[in-house]
Amino acid sequence: MRDVAVVAFAQTAHTAEDQGLSEPELILPVIQEVREKAGTRDFGFTCSGSCDYLAGAPFSFVSALDALGAWPPISESHVEMDAAWALYEAWVRLQHGDVDTALVYGFGKSSQTDVRELMTLQLDPYYLEPLGLDQVSFAALQARAYLERTGRAESDLAEVAARSRRSGRDNPYALDLPEVSPEDGYAVAPLRPHDIAPDTDGAAAIVLAAGDRAREMCERPAWIRGIAHRTDAHYLGGRPLDRSESAAAAALAAGVGKAPVDVAELHAQFTHEELILREALDLGPDVLVNPSGGPLAANPIMATGLIRIGEAAARIHDGTAGRAVGHAAAGPCLQHNLVTVLEG
Amino acid sequence: MSAGVPLTAEHVLEFPGGYTRTTGPVIGRFLTELREGRLMGVRTAGGRVLVPPLEYDPETGEPVTDEWVRVGPAGTVLTWAWVESPRPSHPLDRPFAWALVRPDGADTALVHAVDAGNVKSMRTGMRVRPDFVPGPERRGHIRDIRAFVPEVTRIVSPIRTRYRVSAGKALTRFLEGVAEGVFIGGRCDTCAKVYVPYRVSCPECGGVIAEEVNLPDTGTITTFAINNLPDPRAPEVPFVSAYVLLDGADIPMITLVGGVPAHEVRQGMRVRAVWVPPEERGMSMSNVKWFAPTGEPDAEVSR
């Protein structure tokens, strides 16, 4: 395997409301910032992750290229997934050996539609989507399955929310969310509003570089020592919903357990997902989880997973961690999981 | 453009008339059976029964067999989530549960709504059955099942029988006293214990009680209970019922205690009966509204 590292990371100051920016306007500052950090304007490969359904227009990701300048033609690709999978594609592309740098970015404006119902459209169109099963409802099915298997309580979920919001208030890029109120009613029982990641607009970008090129661009590159993704069956009744077997398989393939982990950034859009992921990745109580506040403090969907890898890398860059894990998830109830192991 | 107010426009993405999808042979068979009011699963090469059926085994990726299996229709709830405020897209317009239901004979579970009426009716492991929409309205669609409904596990039996009961001589005598604002007790001629209410024999030694004793309406609380369930005989919730040992009696009498916050009631507290006005009295214990604290120092309570 060719040594590839995260050498630059930038994200927007995420917002809960539409700031009146088009997608290219949202992306432009983070592209400029990572170009500056990496010390180059040109990359051997460019890959983005976004969702056309967020804007309600086919091929809306193409207009986002306006923020890059794509002439003369650049080598470019896109995934209709969280940009963490764009990073995976870029990592694979760099393994070919003919290019040394890659730009990865992702963006999402949740403010333009009802994301909770939009997520119904990702479900199988015969058995699930016609029921109108929304995102919070399917998450709540998993939450109860997890709580009943483990005997954990709703107060354990509230603790995850409280810690995430506290950390988020210390993170200038995350939202300032109020203290968790135990009197909050249920959204869909057993989930309460504080158990659910907030609707967020935002974008993020990462630069990957291989070998010596990485050392030139970054004082302390965050080397990708393992990266893997695995998928569970889509249908919710066809897999054990009280755990995430695919997250555990991805963690095993990425080698999470080969050495101690200092910090992990987990793509948990619901409080119970963090607990399921901690178990699946076998992270002990000494592992710092989501010091950024995680998705429960800022969830610019399609960039949220990439930001987990970026936040994990940032802790390698600044020397506060020697070994970090970045995790991204997609699909209903943690169906699809990507795990990255980064080392200084 | 004014600062801070983004210029916006409404935009709708829609397939007019709906998007047409082919079902393929497996999903098509399942939906056809559903239109007939039957819940069917398909067997995998490994022997498992998938409900709802897929063309492939999600565990192995192998095509499923041609063997169809009638399952359920009853099934077991594996997990559930309660929706108090349904959305327009939801299958029911009143509070309901989402659930994973494993039909009897299936190895997987179906996601659907459970029309349980109340969250208190829901629990993991409960038994439910599909409620199909009427035959002519079925169209070969997952919503041909209107919802699952709980199996019958209980019925309600109204019971009401009528009696005319006699108070008996002793109680009649006691209530005559109460009508006059007096508690009449009786002293055992053998062991000398004083009982109130008045009775004709001593339950302890078997002696005859012939001597009436008029007791004062003051006494001491020996024990009490704070009741948090409403009772038609009590004025409010919570209320306190207590054993009061009337001065001069050997056996306590059960009464209500009032005129004091429930949490201040204690053993040894001195109390006095609060009588309803004489013109409202009859041959009934409702002559005594309750016992209220006298304000005297607490008395020693001995066993």
Q: How far is B75 from chain A (nearest CA, A)?
A: 13
- Nearest-CB residue to A236 (from B7, B50, B111): B111
A314 and A228, same domain (yes or no):
yes
A273 and A336, same domain (yes or no):
yes
Q: How far is A5 from chain B (nearest CA, A)?
A: 34
Contacts of B6 in chain A (CB under 8 A): 18-20
Contacts of A19 in chain B (CB under 8 A): 6
- Given an 8 Å threshold on Cβ–Cβ distance, is A126 in contact with B5? no
Element containing residue B49 per DSSP (H, E): strand B49-50
DSSP B263: G
- Given an 8 Å threshold on Cβ–Cβ distance, is B111 in contact with A127? yes
- Nearest-CB residue to B143 (from A131, A185, A236): A131
Q: Is the pLDDT of residue B1 over 50?
A: no
pLDDT of residue B132: 97
Ramachandran region, residue A311 (left: φ > 0; alpha: ψ -120 to 50; beta: rest): alpha
A2 near A93, Cβ under 8 Å? no
Contacts of B27 in chain A (CB under 8 A): 126-127
Residue of B nearest to A240 (CA): B108
A324 near A222, Cβ under 8 Å? yes
A162 and A285, same domain (yes or no):
yes
- Given an 8 Å threshold on Cβ–Cβ distance, is A141 in contact with B99? yes
Q: Which of residues 246-285 of A touch B (CB under 8 A)?
A: none
B43 near B105, Cβ under 8 Å? no
pLDDT of residue B3: 59
Residue A192's domain comprises 115-196+224-343
Question: Over the stretch A161-181, which tens digit does the pLDDT of each residue have?
Answer: 999 999 999 999 999 999 998
Q: Could you give the CA distance from residue A69 to residue A61 in angstroms, rounded to a whole number?
A: 14
| Boundary-marking domain end, from A164, A187, A217 | A217
For the CA atoms of chain B, what is the radius of gyration? 36
For the segment A242-260, the average pLDDT, to the nearest whole number, is 97
Antiparallel, parallel or unpaired: β A101-109 and A201-210: antiparallel
A230 and A323, same domain (yes or no):
yes
A86 and A234, same domain (yes or no):
no
Question: Over the stretch B52-102, which tens digit does the pLDDT of each residue have?
Answer: 999 999 989 999 999 999 999 999 999 999 999 999 999 999 999 999 999
A158 and A32, same domain (yes or no):
no
Q: How far is B264 from chain A (nearest CA, A)?
A: 30
Q: Could you give the CA distance from residue A86 to residue A77 in angstroms, rounded to a whole number?
A: 8
Structural domain total, chain A: 2
B42 to chain A, any CB pair closer than 8 A? The answer is no
Q: Is the pLDDT of residue B303 over 70?
A: no
B124 near B114, Cβ under 8 Å? no
A20 and A64, same domain (yes or no):
yes
Domain boundaries, chain B: 24-150, 168-293
Residue that is written with structure tokens 């029921």 in the block: A131
A49 and A97, same domain (yes or no):
yes
Question: Over the stretch A119-166, which tens digit does the pLDDT of each residue have?
Answer: 999 999 999 999 999 999 999 999 999 999 999 999 999 999 999 999
A136 and A169, same domain (yes or no):
yes
Model confidence pTM above 0.90: no
A129 near A332, Cβ under 8 Å? no
| Boundary-marking domain end, from A217, A252, A274 | A217
For the segment A17-41, the average pLDDT, to the nearest whole number, is 93
Q: Which of residues 68-127 of A touch B (CB under 8 A)?
A: 117, 120, 125-127
A24 and A167, same domain (yes or no):
no
Q: What ipTM was predicted for this assembly? A: 0.82
- Given an 8 Å threshold on Cβ–Cβ distance, is B102 in contact with A188? no
